[in-house]
Structures are given as C-alpha cells and as structure tokens.
Chains A and B, each alone.
Chain A
Amino acid sequence: MKVIHYEDIVEKVAEMCIEANYDLGEDVMNAFQAALKTEQSETGKEVLSQLIENADIATKQRVPMCQDTGTVVCIVELGQDCHITGGSLYDAINDGIRKGYGDGYLRNSIVKDPLERKNTDDNTPGIIHIEMVEGDQLSIHMTAKGGGAENMSDLKMLKPSDGIQGIKDYILDVVRVAGPNACPPLVVGVGIGGNFERCAYLAKKSLFRPIGERHKDLEVADLEVELMEEINRLGIGPQGMGGTTTALDIKIEVEACHIAALPVAVNLNCHASRHKEATL
C-alpha cells in the first residue's frame, strides 16, 4: 500500500493552481495558431493574435492570463490501495487551493453563501469529485473554470425520440445563445446519457481531454467532428464579433441511461481552458 502525505498534496495542488493560470496549455496555443490560419474575419484574426500575445505575456511575466482565475474543479482518481496520512483528502486539496491562490496573486472569486454572497477570500472551497480506481496511485486533474463560460452552460432532458438531430440542434442552440458572453473561441463539453446530475458531470469531465484528441469510440468521434463543423458555421467567431472560429474543439462523453431518458448537458469553456494534472 502506498502512503501519501497531506503536505505533498497541498504543495502539488498549489503548484497546479498557479501554473494553470499562468501557462496556457500547448493544446490551446496550437489551436489558436491553427485558427489564425483559417479565420476569415480580420477582427477575428486580430482577436486571436491578441490572445496569443496575451498567453505569451502571462507565461513570461508569471501573471494570470485572465483576471477570472476561476473556480477550482478537481477530478481525483484515488487508487483503492492508496492511503493518505495527516488529514483528509478534501482538506488537503482546499489547503492547496488556498496556498496557490495566495502565493500566486490569483483572484479570489468564491462566495461562502450564494444568497449572502460574502467572499471566502481564499478561493475555497474547490469542487472536488473523487473517483475510486484500482491501484495505489493518486491522480489529480484540476481546472480553473471561468465564470463567464460556466454561466452560459445548460442541461436538458431530451426525449429518446429526439435522437441525434435533437441533440445536435440543442447543442447548437446553447452555443448560439451564449454568443460573445462565454468568451469564444470555445471548448464545448457535452455529456450525453447518465441521469440529471451525471450528464452534467460527464460534460465537465469531457473538458479535461486535450484539444485535438477525439473520443475513442468512432461513432462519438464522428459526432464530435460533425458538430465542430456546424458550430463553426454559426458565424459567432472570436469574442462573438463575427467569424469562422467559434469553437477550438468539442468533446463528448456518453454513458448508459434509462430507457425513457436522453439527458444532455453542455458545459461551455472559454479559450482560457486551464488544466493541469499530476500523479502522486
């Protein structure tokens, strides 16, 4: 059995929070460069160039690429033969967030109570999902998720008879309604199946897959490709100012569901798609 210390988790999570906010992932940067070559609108190109320059400045000067440094969401794969000492895993992750957001001069964007709305002043609590897996390792996948794109996300309980066309129409509608508000170019995360809460989780989880990587199931991969083309024909473009790059990618995850159900969730992510992962 492997033993992992509380403090090691704190340090790792703190480091991930800072790096995710300062260093745009290579997958996003490559997607910006590719989009710059195909984008039809001059303003759209200008936006993409500024985003590339912005990412460069953030990395070189060690500052956050966006002022909304987000809600921290962690998907943790906890090996069943792994033992954590020194405190609870949830506390360790939250301590890591507290440290990372403080040391990294990141913005605290969490309120303690949705009604009273008083800031917790340390960006905790994060949203932590733990999945039990085989083995003795602890893997943490984290994202700093911006509020603008999260606010334009949506979920719908479709009817099985709505079929693939119904799913596509719905996803295109969510992207259309979001328009400029979600800071396009977007990464569109989709969960299909499960139930009410599970499809939302699948949509979120799909966003952890790197840009450019297709689903392993060929049928789902084809649907991703088709939808990607259609989304980019909506005309929304970079920052919603018109253009041919509305999404950098779309990710779909599917799961078993009830015979009477076809739940679909669309979790939008902005271009500041910030992810890190670490295995302890």
Chain B
Amino acid sequence: MSKHIQVPFKKEDILALRSGDRVLLTGTVYTARDAAHKRMAEQIEKGAPLPFDVENQVIYYVGPTPAKPGQVIGSAGPTTSSRMDKFTPALLDMGLRGMIGKGYRSEEVKKSIVKNQAIYFGAIGGSAALISRSIKSVEVIAYDDLGTEAIRKLEIENFPVVVINDAHGNDLYREGVEKYRQI
C-alpha cells in the first residue's frame, strides 16, 4: 500500500502526497543534524555557498553508528527534528524540498513547508537496523571532522517513511491523534 517516489522530487509528486501516506523513497538524500545545521547557518549568514545545492533536495536528520567492516553504513534511524527547526525555514526558502526525521515541527517550520510547497516525512524512530538496509551507498561530502554528524550523501532504495506535514498544511501528528483519542 506504499507509494513509490523518486528523490530529489518533482513538484507534482510533492503536491500529490497527503499526511498519513506511506511512501518508499528511492534516489539521493543528504544527512545533516545539529552541528551540520549550525555550520550551514553560519555559511548562509556569511553569504558563502553550502556544501551541496539544496534546491529540490531532501535532508535526512541522522547520526549513524560506525559501520562494521563490510557494512555500507551502521544503524541509521532518524533523530528528533525539532532541534533543527531554528535553521529549517532559511533552507526551505533556498529551495530545500523535503526533510526526514521524527517528532514535532515548530509552527514556523510548518508554515514554511506550506509556503515553499515542501514536505516533512517521519521515519520510524528506533528502526535503525531495518532502515540501514535501504541505504545502498554513502559518501561523506562535508564536515568530516564532525564524525557521526558529518554531511553524507546517501543513495537510498525503498526507504520507508510516512508523510507527517504535507504541502497543503495537514499534520499527521494532529490528525492521527485526534482520530484515536478517547480522553
């Protein structure tokens, strides 16, 4: 019952998705979490170019475990997105299209998602060994000194996510809970 979507996105694909949709993503995404976001924000402030062109791209909030010999990547589940909220609207304004993480986004991020016709996916927090199997290659492209927090380019295949905030202002964390709430 999952939809298959290629990333980076085509705009029509984003507009066709709705909160609650289960999606399998295939293509390229970039990893970044707290420290990498902080550095990217400093670059933006200085007017310096970012380590990758964010236009139409997807950022995955993750800090993987070290790969064992023979592994492409260690366990790689999502981290809490709200810690990146402060930096996100600026990236969305620069053309970033999607984010994969877990947990609530701020009102400001949600507004920016609608304004920029972007999308926020939830991956399953703690499902890190399973998620790693859909990561086919990894390349550190910037901030190598940050270790687990470096920016990595990932080739993914059938990476399982659920749409949380769609481009139309829907929010699964609100609607899903309302549907099952009994107190």
Contacts and interface: CB of A to CB of B under 8 A. Distances in A.
Interface in B51-93: 62-68, 71, 74-77, 79-80, 82
A179 B103 contact: yes
B102 A64 contact: no
Interface in B117-158: 122, 124-133, 147-148
B35 to A, nearest CB: 8
A243 interface: yes
Contact of B177 (A40, A55, A105, A237): A237
30 contacts: A41-B179, A41-B180, A43-B22, A46-B22, A50-B124, A54-B128, A55-B129, A57-B130, A61-B129, A63-B74, A66-B75, A66-B125, A66-B128, A105-B74, A106-B66, A107-B64, A107-B65, A108-B148, A179-B103, A181-B82, A181-B104, A230-B183, A235-B176, A235-B179, A236-B177, A239-B102, A240-B176, A241-B164, A242-B172, A270-B126
Q: Is the interface of A mostly helix, strand, loop or mixed?
A: loop
Contacts of B68: 62-63, 105
B65 A105 contact: yes
Interface string A258-280: 00000000000011100000000
Interface residues of B, number: 47
Given A107-B64, A181-B104, A64 B180 contact: no
Listed from nearest, the 10 A-B pairs whose CB atoms lie closest are A242-B176, A235-B181, A235-B180, A181-B103, A183-B125, A233-B182, A54-B130, A58-B129, A107-B65, A57-B129
A47 interface: yes
B67 to A, nearest CB: 7
Contacts of B82: 181
Contacts of A235: 176-182
Given A64-B129, A237-B176, A243-B180, 17 more contacts: A51-B126, A54-B127, A54-B131, A63-B65, A63-B71, A66-B75, A66-B77, A67-B75, A106-B65, A108-B147, A151-B80, A172-B183, A179-B103, A183-B125, A240-B173, A242-B175, A242-B177
Interface of B: 20, 22, 62-68, 71, 74-77, 79-80, 82, 102-104, 122, 124-133, 147-148, 160, 162, 164, 172-173, 175-183
